[in-house]
Chain A
Amino acid sequence: MGTSEQDDGIAARLRRVLFSYDREATLPSPEADADDAAPADPDERGGAVLRGVDLDILEGSFTVVMGASGGGKSTLLRTLNGIIPGFISGSFEGDVTVLERDATTTRVPEMARGVGMVIQDYEAQLFGTSVATEVAFGPENLAVPPAEIDDRIDRSLSIAGLEGLDLRRSPDALSGGQKQRLVFAGVLAMYPELLVLDEPTSDLDPAGSRETLSVIGRLADGADGTDGGTGAWDGPGTIVMVTHKIEEALLADHAVLLRGGRAYRSGPAEEVFTDIEALRASRVAVPPLVEAFDRLGVDDPPLRVEEAAELVAETDLTWQPPARAGDPLPGVPAGTGETTGDVLFEISDLVHEYDTGDGAVRAVDGLDLTVHEGEVVAIVGHNGSGKTTLAKHLNGLLDPDRGTVTWDGRDLRDVRMSEVGRHVGFVFQNPDHQIFAATVEEEVAFGPENFGLAGAELDRRVADAIETVELDGLEDADPFNLSKGQRQRVALAGILATDPDVIVFDEPSTGLDAQQQATFMDMVARLNREEGVTVVMVTHSMSTVAEYAPRSVVMVDGRKVADRPTRELFADGPALAEWDLRPPQPVALANRLADQQGLDGALPALSVDELVAGLQGGDGQ
């Protein structure tokens, strides 16, 4: 494979690596007890992040690194190409040897000759004004002769699945998934031996994630479509990836769990991901099927739906669906959206168009929708299907080009933002697009102040909202220094402080890990259950939909193609396939078991609990 076969086949070797972002930190001893070292709050920053990492990355392996948020995963990756300690100053100790070079003293651009790196934020990694300049950029930096670059562009675009792309096209005009794959192409064109991937799909929608995942899969298989054996580059021999998504992690053959700033558990991927104790200790989300079958007392729990279905077939487990078509429909696991009232929004024949250089583009095309008080409605569909545009009509941020939107019986065109904004809160995708004030308290007070609140009433509302999102104690903190999950909660608090009747969410969980997503959604669920707040959420996360939204609206090309109870929608395999919606694992397994057992009209489980209950219920029968 590479050039360093003589070095016992080790691509990267880390010994006693310690690091803190604080330049004046006192680093702990690598021998200190790791259990004491674990930070209390995964969102907490500061202190040493790496506390004595010993790790060997085998040449030819695909290693996945997992661990809690803020637990040092990205930090660890950054030692592999010299960014730490060369580019990011802090306190560093230890030895890092990568591809036979001392990565602690070699400059980053030098390390780039062998180590390629892709991080989650694709916008931060695109520098070129066209597809060709973007891919050529790395090779140019390595002084590759221009004549050779053409060939590298072709090869790397083809590995990235972008071979049909117009080379002169501007990267801005690409979708998120294409942009990230263009980043891959740009890195692969440098012919790296070691590829380092830091949550490469976290900022992408499901379609973009799948596109990117298939590139990673191709790299993992070494099947890059080129002829090996000529001594020429034939794909990165070794891959190291950080992710919090289990379906991505399963591409790897080797897994490492970080805990307390050290490699806590490592081994073959399948073994590590079924080691529930180790996963819990490292605060890594246990794969849903592993959790379910562990609770059913299965010794060797399955990771994939197919394996689980086989396992059920081979054992005496039987699937008993929570309901059949025609039965009264059970609610969703979170118990949300169960008490509904009068009509709140009435949308009829809504059309919205955006002006572009090449004429008008119709984002929403003749859509009707009714939302009642107290409902929780999910709006799902691909990027560009018009979800966000639709949502922005619910508080008058956009005006219809045709049709009407009424709120509480009034046409929204006749209602000022200063009035509707108090009642209909809108939480944007990225909290950083609104946070500006010096403290959390001032930030949260901004909305209510604009809507005319003042004095003791304002203070009380702000304090309540901060408490609701569990940021009490951080009132005087600078919101810029909080973690992404906390910043999203600051944005939510700013909306809650106006005491809205409705909250509209635009992909609130983007960029948050599973734990942060769950914390955030549980807060939203409580608001609905306890205070009757109506929730409309645009989301890509099918597990969020399954868990929290009894009703789903599916959009395709600006049209509403489905508006049904979520459980029914998730039972309709052909429809899901047509709209390219992938249900979460418990749903997929329940559907598969219903097929396997020939159960007509079975409705699926929406959560691990329901799956376990259905399999236990079936057990003794």
Chain B
Amino acid sequence: MREIFTMWRDTRMIMLVAVVAAVYAAVLLPFKLFTIIPGITSVRPANVFPVIFSIMFGPAAAWGAAIGNLIGDIFGGTLGPGSIFGFLGNFFFGFVGYKLWGNLGPLSSGDEPDMRSGMQIVEYLAIAVASSAVCAAIIAWGVDLLGLVPFTVLGPTIMINNTLAAAVLGPPLLYLTYPRIKEMGLLYPEVMESGDLSAFGFAQPTVAGFGFLVVSLVWLALGTYALPPGSTGQMVLGAVGFVLMVVFGVIGSQGLPAVMDRTGIH
């Protein structure tokens, strides 16, 4: 967890935040595939970025996705109270990936994410689902809280949009770009100092990994099917879900540095 703060010490990581944010916003606005609910949500190819950037750029992707979404709101004219939850949701959208890669126990490939094996694609898909679900749950919770659109409507919509873009586009993009970005020396384990990347002593990376995956899906399911919009139950569920996400963030750790050390191609 400390890496999301210590990364601000490094010029390259700061620059990555800015570039990730600008790219995310610049692709988010013009490219829309299918509109699901007019004005609210459509499948946007850019939604693959937080997930793959997270795996490659670590904490810079979390901040970058959050700021990029905010810039999308500023230039798209949708800045408002909902932007706070858009910021948080997209932060986690770009946060989960690097916490999960290499930390999903039996689902993990143990490789670097260059998408050269089936097992890597399985691991990536689990991450795409978890990242999408966390993002969808946080935003749907917030927008429900604001009384704008019911959780039941927005939760599943965002989930489907994010998952579609991330799952379909992620593997080919990582296949083509992971080796190149590694060659450029811009993977976060290479850019950040190892001290700034160390996890807390009490870290439980695999627990955190599955925690993200399972809790977000449960939150999304309960919020959609079990609780009415605007209810106290919905509000409490969201608060509990959100706190758990932060807890998993604290006890999680980043898997890629260990994978790279193990494979010895650091």
Residue numbers of A with Cβ under 8 A of B are: 89, 436-438, 478, 480-481
Contact = CB atoms under 8 A, between A and B. Distances in A.
B180 interface: yes
User: Which of A436, A437, A480 has the most chain B CB within a 10 Å cutoff?
Assistant: A480
A145 to B, nearest CB: 24
B183 A438 contact: no
Contacts of B185: 89
Interface string B3-38: 000000000000000000000000000000000000
Contacts of B179: 478
A121 to B, nearest CB: 14
A437 B176 contact: yes
Contacts of A89: 185
Contacts of A480: 180, 183
A124 to B, nearest CB: 10
A133 B179 CA distance: 37
Nearest to A437: B176
Interface string B170-202: 000001100110010100000000000000000
B142 to A, nearest CB: 28
A455 to B, nearest CB: 24
| Size class of the B contact interface (CB-based, 8 Å) | under 10
A436 B177 CA distance: 9
A436 B183 contact: no
A438 B185 CA distance: 18
Contacts of B175: 438
Contacts of B176: 436-438
Contacts of A478: 179-180
Given A89-B185, A480-B180, A480-B183, 7 more contacts: A436-B176, A437-B176, A438-B175, A438-B176, A478-B179, A478-B180, A481-B183
Nearest to A442: B176
Contacts of B183: 480-481
Ordered nearest first, which 6 A-B pairs have the shortest CB separation?
Answer: A480-B180, A438-B176, A436-B176, A478-B180, A481-B183, A437-B176
A89 B184 CA distance: 12
A106 to B, nearest CB: 16
A482 to B, nearest CB: 12
A438 B183 CA distance: 14
10 contacts: A89-B185, A436-B176, A437-B176, A438-B175, A438-B176, A478-B179, A478-B180, A480-B180, A480-B183, A481-B183
A437 B175 CA distance: 10
A415 B39 CA distance: 34
B8 to A, nearest CB: 15
Nearest to B11: A87
Nearest to B179: A478
A126 to B, nearest CB: 12
A437 B183 CA distance: 16
Contacts of B180: 478, 480
Contacts of A438: 175-176
A110 to B, nearest CB: 14
A310 to B, nearest CB: 52
B120 to A, nearest CB: 16
A349 to B, nearest CB: 31
A481 B183 CA distance: 9
Nearest to B176: A438
Contacts of A481: 183
A438 B179 CA distance: 10
Contacts of A437: 176
A437 B176 CA distance: 7
Interface string B193-230: 00000000000000000000000000000000000000
A436 B180 CA distance: 11
A478 B177 CA distance: 11
A2 to B, nearest CB: 28
A89 B183 CA distance: 13
A433 B190 CA distance: 27
A280 B179 CA distance: 38
A433 to B, nearest CB: 13
A50 B103 CA distance: 43
Nearest to A478: B180
A480 B183 CA distance: 10
A613 to B, nearest CB: 50
B213 to A, nearest CB: 31
A563 B176 CA distance: 46
A439 B206 CA distance: 37
A218 to B, nearest CB: 31
A155 B180 CA distance: 43
B191 to A, nearest CB: 11
A89 B185 CA distance: 10
B139 to A, nearest CB: 27
A249 B175 CA distance: 44
A507 to B, nearest CB: 23
A29 B211 CA distance: 56
A89 B175 CA distance: 26
A536 to B, nearest CB: 28
A438 B180 CA distance: 9
A89 B179 CA distance: 19
A386 B201 CA distance: 62
A437 B180 CA distance: 11
Nearest to A89: B185
A89 B191 CA distance: 11
A422 to B, nearest CB: 26
Nearest to A436: B176
A254 to B, nearest CB: 33
A278 B183 CA distance: 36
A20 to B, nearest CB: 15
A446 to B, nearest CB: 13
Nearest to A127: B18
A529 B185 CA distance: 44
A142 to B, nearest CB: 16
A88 to B, nearest CB: 9
B197 to A, nearest CB: 17
Nearest to A481: B183
B208 to A, nearest CB: 32
Nearest to B185: A89
A188 to B, nearest CB: 22
B173 to A, nearest CB: 10
A177 B180 CA distance: 32
Nearest to B181: A480
A538 B254 CA distance: 50
B204 to A, nearest CB: 34
Nearest to A108: B11
B145 to A, nearest CB: 32
Nearest to B173: A436
Nearest to B184: A480
Nearest to A438: B176
B186 to A, nearest CB: 13
A464 B213 CA distance: 51
A86 B175 CA distance: 32
A174 B179 CA distance: 36
Nearest to B12: A87
A437 B173 CA distance: 10
Nearest to A124: B15
Nearest to B180: A480
A379 B50 CA distance: 42
B192 to A, nearest CB: 14
Interface in B136-193: 175-176, 179-180, 183, 185
